[in-house]
A and B are shown apart, each in its own frame.
Chain A
Amino acid sequence: MSQATLRITKISGHAGAVPGSNMSRDAKEKQVCKMVDTTTCIGCKACEIACQEWNDLPFASTSFNNTYQTMPDTAWNFWNLIRFQEYQRPNSDGSKTFMWLMRKDQCMHCADPGCLEACPADGAIVQYSNGIVDFQTDQCIGCGYCITGCPFNIPKLNPVTHKVHKCTLCADRVSGNLEPACIKACPTGCLHFGTKEDMLFQANRRVQQLKTHYGMAEAGVYDPPGVGGTSVIYVLHDATQPELYGGLPRDPRVPWTVKLWKHPLKWIGNIAIIGGVVGTFMHYLRYGPKIVPEDNAKGGH
């Protein structure tokens, strides 16, 4: 099923237990994480190019919209986008500081992935034991439910093949003990890769530094708890306003309609369907058919 050598812990649209559950391979089971320090991103786009090259994606044409952003949005063949926004940060003395906010946008690899929850195709989306959420394109049926389930608007449909694509967190490189391609290409040290534990430690240290040395009282780490935390975390100058960074959602969650549909409604529905079939059968046993007497005597209808 999967090309990676990692163990799978969750599978989309799958009946029954995940094969290999209850097993452990400790060394590869630690949650991995990308740490993106937006305060040191210079917008060079090396990560975008590295992503295109490693994943062998074609260079797509784009449109110029008077910003330093490469594309209007991520695409099925463009998984890593530096989102650019100009912002005037109010200072304590009433003056304003002009800022270029740049955020590396890609799949967040949620611990509680909305795409996987919504997906009906057996094995089309998997979550590995190290936290990477990966699309298995050969199993994808192109329904697009993952697009609706994702709170970050990440999965994108290839209009020709009707398959969805997104960042794999370089599962192929990571399972070979390499860092993701984007991390490798970053020249400023704004991108880090390691275990979730280490990345959180480093991110929090950076936040302390921003608070004490740069007077950024609102600096913070973005690791949204609504989706169980993510395997991509950000250091933001102003964690109280994540929307500023190209529309990073404040409190992303698996949408409640998806939860309602996949859990209570499914159970009520299943019971109702089985109840209906059993009910009609019981009715037949108890009351039987309606036969118009004379018709029956004539042997038909």
Chain B
Amino acid sequence: MEENRVLHGGRLLRYNFRERLVHWVAGLSYIYLLLTGLAFWSPWCFWIAVILGGGSVSRVLHPWVGLVYAASVIYMLGIWSRDMEITDTDRKWTQSIGAYVRNEEEEMLPEHAERAWQQWAPVDRFNLGQKYLFWTMFWGGIVLLVTGVVLWFPERAPQSIRLISILVHPIAFLVTLAGFIIHVYMGTAIVRGGFTSIIRGEVTENWARHHHRLWVERITEDAAARK
């Protein structure tokens, strides 16, 4: 049985302390990697490296911070791998993804929808978009780690491996950046309450029921069984 996630006063523990901590270790290290990476990506962004202590400092720190990022996504895999599995419920949810993007969930609640297939598919702890984000950042992180180690020690790796890495590293960067932009946008601007939940860990039951009904049902049953 998982830890008790039902708190006093109708609030739910969406993210416990270590989940929040690892999220921010990953998030802040990614932001540093993104900024220094952008400096190396384009001459028009090289000023970022100048602000962050100069090109040489950025070159020295970028790989080490990369190790921190890689360690944090591997740790996330350890704690979230079960929550991140893509299930049949998720496949049903994809039918309503357009409505989700247009903020039309209300119209798809059972009392509004005319046909069953038009109904909003309930979501467990993470919705499919969150799961895709996780797997993008995880596998992207692994690819960035492997190619990054090659670029870290240019005189140790054979030329052919370096030539592949020099191309794959920025491609993997672009893929993760797409995930990162959408994630930051949704977490701060779109899903109100989401940002607080990853800082303080708590959400209201009402919020959770709206966004993650199956999760609420699961943890409240758990809490009841615990009594």
Which residues of B, 128-182, contact A by the 8 Å Cβ criterion? 151, 154-155, 159, 162-164, 166-167, 170-171, 174, 177-178, 181-182
Q: Could you tell me the distance between the alpha carbons of A156 and B151 in the complex, rounded to whole angstroms?
A: 14
B-chain residues with CB within 8 Å of residue A261 when the two chains form the complex: 166-167, 170
Binds B, one of A54-62, A79-87, A91-99, A285-293: A285-293
B58 on interface, CB distance cutoff 8 Å: yes
B113 on interface, CB distance cutoff 8 Å: no
Chain A contact patch, size range: 35 or more
| A272 and B174 within 8 A (CB) | yes
Per DSSP, chain B at the interface is helix
CB distance from A258 to the nearest CB of B (A): 6
B-chain residues with CB within 8 Å of residue A2 when the two chains form the complex: none
Chain B contact patch, size range: 35 or more
| B58 and A292 within 8 A (CB) | no
| A295 and B193 within 8 A (CB) | yes
| A284 and B163 within 8 A (CB) | no
The digit string for A247-285, where 1 denotes a CB below 8 A from any CB of B, is: 000000001011011000110011011001100100110
Q: Could you tell me the distance between the alpha carbons of A280 and B58 in the complex, rounded to whole angstroms?
A: 29
The digit string for B196-209, where 1 denotes a CB below 8 A from any CB of A, is: 10000001101100
A4 on interface, CB distance cutoff 8 Å: no
Which residues of A, 77-122, contact B by the 8 Å Cβ criterion? 118, 120-122
| B46 and A280 within 8 A (CB) | no
| B59 and A15 within 8 A (CB) | no
CB distance from A126 to the nearest CB of B (A): 14
B-chain residues with CB within 8 Å of residue A157 when the two chains form the complex: 154-155
Q: Could you tell me the distance between the alpha carbons of A121 and B55 in the complex, rounded to whole angstroms?
A: 7
| A280 and B163 within 8 A (CB) | no
B210 on interface, CB distance cutoff 8 Å: yes
A26 on interface, CB distance cutoff 8 Å: no
Q: Could you tell me the distance between the alpha carbons of A162 and B56 in the complex, rounded to whole angstroms?
A: 8
| A148 and B167 within 8 A (CB) | no
Q: Could you tell me the distance between the alpha carbons of A283 and B100 in the complex, rounded to whole angstroms?
A: 12
Which residue in chain B gives the minimum CB-CB distance to A277? B181
A142 on interface, CB distance cutoff 8 Å: yes
Residue picked from A145, A148, A269, most chain B C-beta under 10 Å: A148
CB distance from A136 to the nearest CB of B (A): 12
Q: Could you tell me the distance between the alpha carbons of A272 and B49 in the complex, rounded to whole angstroms?
A: 22
CB distance from A162 to the nearest CB of B (A): 7
Q: Could you tell me the distance between the alpha carbons of A59 and B30 in the complex, rounded to whole angstroms?
A: 44
A147 on interface, CB distance cutoff 8 Å: yes
B17 on interface, CB distance cutoff 8 Å: no
Chain A residues engaging chain B, CB cutoff 8 angstroms: 13-15, 118, 120-122, 139-145, 147-148, 153, 156-157, 162, 255, 257-258, 260-261, 265-266, 269-270, 272-273, 276-277, 280, 283-284, 287-292, 294-296, 298, 301
Chain B residues engaging chain A, CB cutoff 8 angstroms: 39-44, 46, 49, 54-56, 58-60, 101-103, 105, 151, 154-155, 159, 162-164, 166-167, 170-171, 174, 177-178, 181-182, 185, 189-193, 196, 203-204, 206-207, 210-211
